[in-house]
Structure 1
Amino acid sequence: MAQVSIGQVENLEDLVRGLHSMREALETACREQIAVAEQKCEEAREEGKSSAGMLENAIQQEQTAKQNVDSAEQALESSQSSLSSAQSSLSSCLAQPHDDDERYPDCSGEYSAVAEAEAAVEQAQNMLEQAGVELEVATGDRISLEQRADLAKQAQAMAEHALAQALQECNMRLAAVDQAIEIGTARLSFAQRALDAYLATNLPAAQFHAWLKWDPTKDGRPVAPDMLRDRMNLSSEQRRLLQEYLYDRNPAYRRQVDKYRNQWASAKGDAERNIVARKARIHLSGEFGEQMVRHALAPLGSQIETQGRTFVGDNGRYTKTDLLVTDLRVPVILGRGEGMGAPVGGSMAFEVKCGKAEYLYSQKDHMIFQAEGHKQADAQCTLCSRDIQDLPEEKKKELRDALHEAGSPMVGMLPKKNEIDQSCLDFIHQNEEALS
């Protein structure tokens, strides 16, 4: 079974967790998308039903209007026929000869009948004209509603297509994520078995794994300074394993290591290599020291923040807190005195300084300023490398007293700067050693 590292297994765990989170988010988005598509379909169906009903009503109104036109035409024909008959009767009356008294025949009734017939014709013509207008309007309404019904059918078809497409796309995407989860879970299971087998035969790796996965709540007592000191003073082999872990897990750290490895490989002569080593001792060692503290303290709280800003005063100045551990799972004692202990649920703030004795002393003012950012925490201190012990007693006391007064007492819990430097340089040279 192939060997895998702790970091690689954790990367796979993150991958599988990320895929599960992605699936949940995708499923939620799909449900929302499908719900919108279904709502659009329902609206389109309702519009289709409404348009069909309105069209049917318009067709009936048009048919009624046509019938009214037919009736009006018949009425006009009838009134025109009556007018023709009345006019014929009037003509017949007027054509009669005079009587013996030479009086014209009395045709008043016929005149009246013609007048009534003419009025009836005019009324019938008006009725026909009105019926024609109503038919034209009804026909226009029917045509408009036919177009509306056609558009409603098209909209319904489009909505149903969009719904089907959304269902298909969501199912395809969910299936793809499910497949990725299945593959990732299988890879994780295989890697975990390989890691378990490796840890069973490699004691330093098993100890380092236990260090990473430490559960401080199992002891059932407060975490004391000696426990913290032990966690921050890894053996050289465990420091190497931490280097590998950071390289696997921390992309920024990996880039930094790769940069120095490339510079070391391309350096020409000892002078250039010394320059690379000096840069690594300044930058990489400081980062490694902070990461060592971070992973040593991370199990104590539910959350650990790095480089959080705290504004100091009213002039916009701020300080960055190297580490802030919050929601502590156990009580923690950093040392004696006020501000050196935190309860369950509390918080701790830390400044981390790795350097030779004189460097630590030179950073006094900076560390005092940084201490301003620690005051929101229940407990706070400045963690430094054990190089502080190399300071003359007078300077050591001055430095400790100044930071104690600032509210962030100095505690030398970290390995010496030379040990941290050597760990970083050895890791940079690791590829070179593997090739040689």
Structure 2
Amino acid sequence: AGLPLLLSGHYASYLDAYFEAMSGFATIGQTLVNDVDHLARSVNLWRHLMQFIGGQGIVIVVLTIFASAGGRIGYLYTGEGREEKILPNVIRTVRFIWRVALVYAVIGTTLLWLALLSAGMGPPTALYHGANLFMAAFDTGGFATMSSSVAFYRSIAVELVLLPIMTAGGFSFALHYQLWLGRRSELVRNIETRTIATSTLVMFTIMLVGLGRTGTFTDFFVMMRQGFFHIVSAHTTTGLATVPGRLYVTDWGVLAPAVLVTAMAFGGMAGSTAGGIKAMRIGLILKGITRDVRKVLLPEDAIVVETFHSTTRKVLSDTQVRAAATILLLWLVLYFGGGLLGLFYGYDLQLALFESTAAASSGGLSVGLVRPDLEWPLKVTYVAQMVIGRLEFIAIFALFGYLLAIVRGRV
């Protein structure tokens, strides 16, 4: 996957091309290309196709081709975040996921094409940019056709079309299935949609306060437009931007970049193309805290039962809360581990933590630290974070356990 990129002449080394390929398949969006604006269209299209393939999951492609759902490959399937099979077997689930992606691709590309036409682009160019933008948005990948990302188009219409596409990419395929069946009430009952809606509202409010205090924006509407687009882009771990990333730390103060890091760290829904800790885990932990507070306030002999809705009504268990808290802790270690390494190489903690979180969560937004002359140990570290963040920890543990069993001759 990295070889076509290397042969394009826009990458300084094979490590840079490999970084780019991993960033594509893991739907990260961080790039080491020397000059995005002058990439051949074929190379740029390949970058976005890697996101489209990786977004649905390379394991899904394998499952579809070989029509096999047994054995230890199931570990990888679960690691992609698709714990619920949606349909009775994995193969039918896989086909449904691709069906959703292709239907949305037609609709989303068409809407973006029309928006780009209204922005003054010619039909063929608008179609090319529209297709690439859709793949970057729905698969929450974040690669951009131009170096200035979405800012290149200077179009509110393009931004308005991208917002629901990014949101759809952050939704789980289980939720998409419920919506396809006409069960629209799932949107307001689901624990993950509620968690994401609440966190988006809270973080958007904090973002506006932070941006307002800097005095960077004189127009309140422009501030709301920029802030909301970046909150959605970060929360869905897409990584598309309407301003140069360096402005996050030079013009946006301290509060707004901190909100972006938090949004990327949280991520989207479990079973979506988004990365991060996932709204399901955040929601379960908050439910667990609520339950424990109620236990303290109520009489000792009171029986406290906490429930949540995820396609069906379920009772919250201690095991679920512990598992969610454990994975949350591992995610924090991953985020701060990369940040500390960046600190070791002399970068400010704010910059290092921002880039580390973006790499691990597949957030993709960048403050400019990721560049061709970045120290190679940091490049390797970010690639490792991409893999761990994309497969998540259980799959990594299962893989190491399986390899260890092979070495010991138990398999």
Class of the TM-score when normalised by the shorter of the 2 chains: under 0.3
Q: Which structure's relative contact order is higher, taking Cα pairs within 8 Å and 6+ residues apart?
A: 2
Q: TM-score, normalised by structure 1?
A: 0.24
Structure with the higher fraction of residues in strand conformation: 1
